[in-house]
Structure 1
Amino acid sequence: MKPQSMSNLFRYFLLSLSAAIILVPFYWMINTSLKTNAEILRIPPTLFPSEFRFQNFADAIVKAPILTYLLNTVVVALSVVAISTVVSVLAAFAFARLNFRGKQILFIVILGTMMVPQEMLIITNFMTIADLGWMNTWQALIAPYCINAFNIYLLRQTFKQVPDELYLASKVDGVSNFRFLRKIMLPLSKSTIVTVMILSVIWIWDTYAWPSLVTTKDSMRLVSNGLQNAFTNDSGRIQYEIQMAASTLVILPLVFLFLMLKKYIISGMVKGGIKG
C-alpha cells in the first residue's frame, strides 16, 4: 500500500474514532431514555431497548417543570448573546483597528484569562452577587457571562483580516469608526459573529456550577441544574429513564441550532484562526 494511502487510512481511522467517542454518550442517553428502569439496571447492559417506552418523555414533562427550565435558559441565553456580542464586537474592533496606550498588554491580559479555570473565580463572583442581593435573580445568571475572552479573540482575528487600506481610505473620507464598523466590518464578519453567538448559547446551555450556586428557587433554575434532582421517586431512587428522556428533550434545541447554522460555525472558526 502506498504511503499516501496509509496516511489517509490512518487519518480516517482517527476521525472515525473521534466521532464514535463523541456520539456514544448521545446514543446511550437516547437508548436509556427508551428503557424501563429494570432494563437500565440489568447486567450486562443491553445495546437496544427490548421495548421502546416513549411514555418516559411524557412523564418527564409532567413530573418536572421542564418548560420553565427551558424558558429560563432561553431568556438567559438570549440576554447573554445580546450583551456579550455587543461587548465582544466593540472590544475586538478596538484591539484590531484603534491605537491606544497599553493595547498589547491589555490584549495579552484578556488572553491570559482564558487560561484561568472558571472554578477559581466562582467563590469571588458568588460573594459579589450575594453582597449585591442578587441571589435568585436574572442579573445573577446573566452578569458573569457578559464578557467572553474567546469571543473577543475570535472577532479580533477576523477584523484584522480586513485590509488596512480600506480602513485608512474610510478615515480619509471622514467615515467615523462606528460607521466603518457597522457598514464594513460587521457584514464582512457575519459568519464569525454568528459563531460567537452560537458558542454563547451553548455555554449557557451547558453551565451547571454557577446557576446551582445562585438559584435556590425552582422557578429560577436552568435546564443544566434543574434536571439534577427533578426525577426521584418516594424512596429517593433516581428515575434514570425519565431523567435521560428529559435530557434528550432539552438537548434537541442545540442540535437543531447547530444543524441549521453549522456552515457559519465552520466559516467563522476558519476566518478567526487565519491571521494573528
Structure 2
Amino acid sequence: MKITLEELQVFLSVADSVSLSAAAQKLDQPVSTVSRVLARLEDKLQTTLISRTTRRLHLTDEGSSFVEDARNIVSAAERAEERVLLRRGQPAGSLRVDAATPVMLHVLAPLLPGYHAKFPEVRLQLSSNEGFVDLLEQRIDLAIRVGELKDSSLHSRLLCHSPMRVLASPSYLARHGMPEKVSDLAQHVILGFSHPSQLNVWPLPAEHVGTRFFQARPTLGASSGETLRALAVQGMGITAQADFMTHEDRATGRLVEVLAAHRVELLRPVHAVYYQHTAVSARIASMVQYLANALPGAPGMQRVQPARRSRHVG
C-alpha cells in the first residue's frame, strides 16, 4: 500500500505542532483520526516517526530524516495543483497566513470577506502567533507583521503605516486626573509590554537627550497589545497603541487621547513577509496585492509614500 498525501500532511502537522491535539485543531480533525492516520503511515514505512510519551512528542531519527522529504513532496503537490488551477485564470489552493492576534482581529478579519469574494478558489488557513516564528518550520506562506523587521532571509512588502497614540479611559482619568505634561506620567499607572522593551516606545518627546521618543516603564506589563487595550478600556491605566487597534474605542469614547498636544509622530509599519522563492506563489501574490490596495483605506491606517513601498529584508 502506497503513502498518501493526506498521511504526509498529517505527519508534518504533528511534527510541527509537537502535539496531537494541536495538529488535530490545525487540521480540523478529531485527535483520534490524526492518531490513526499517523499510525497507518508508520505501519506502511515499518518504522516509528514520532515517539509518543505521556509528557511530549518528538521526532525519532527516522522521523527527522523523513520530514524534509515529506515537506518537499507536499510542496510539489501544492505547486502542481496551483499550476493546473491557474489555467482557469484564478489563484487557487491553500494559503496559510499568520498574524498576531490584534492584527488578525482588527486588520485582517474585516478585509478577508472581500478577498474571499475575489479569490474564491483560495483556501485560507489562519494562525495567530504573538512572537516572530519560523515561517518555513510552521509551514506559513505569508505573515503580516506590525513594527520594524529584523534582518532575515525573507522578502517583505511595506503595506501601510499606523500612527501611535497615548490613550486612557474616561473612568481612569476621572479618578487619577489628566496628565498635563510628559513628566506627569511618573504618577500614573503605565500599561506596557512586558517584552521586548522597544515596544514601549511612545509617541511623546524623550525624557533624555540623545533619544527621540519617550521610553515607557510599565507599571503593569503584558505580552499582548490586545490585552493592554482591554485593560485600558477597563480603566486600569494609560497605554500607547496603534490606531488600527483603537479606532473604534476612540470613536465611541471608550478611550481618549492623553497628552495630545505633546504627541510626536510615530508610525508603526505594517509588512507582508514571505520566503524568497524563484517565483512567488500566485496565492501569496494575490493576498499581498489585495492588502496593499485595501489597507491604506482601512481605519487607523496611513498610505505609504511611493519611494518606501517595498524592500528586501536581509
TM-score of the pair, normalised by structure 2: 0.22
**Which one has a larger percent helix, Structure 1 or Structure 2?**
1
- Greater RCO, CA 8 A, separation 6+: 1
User: What TM-score do the two structures reach when normalised by structure 1?
Assistant: 0.24
Pick the structure with more strand per residue: 2
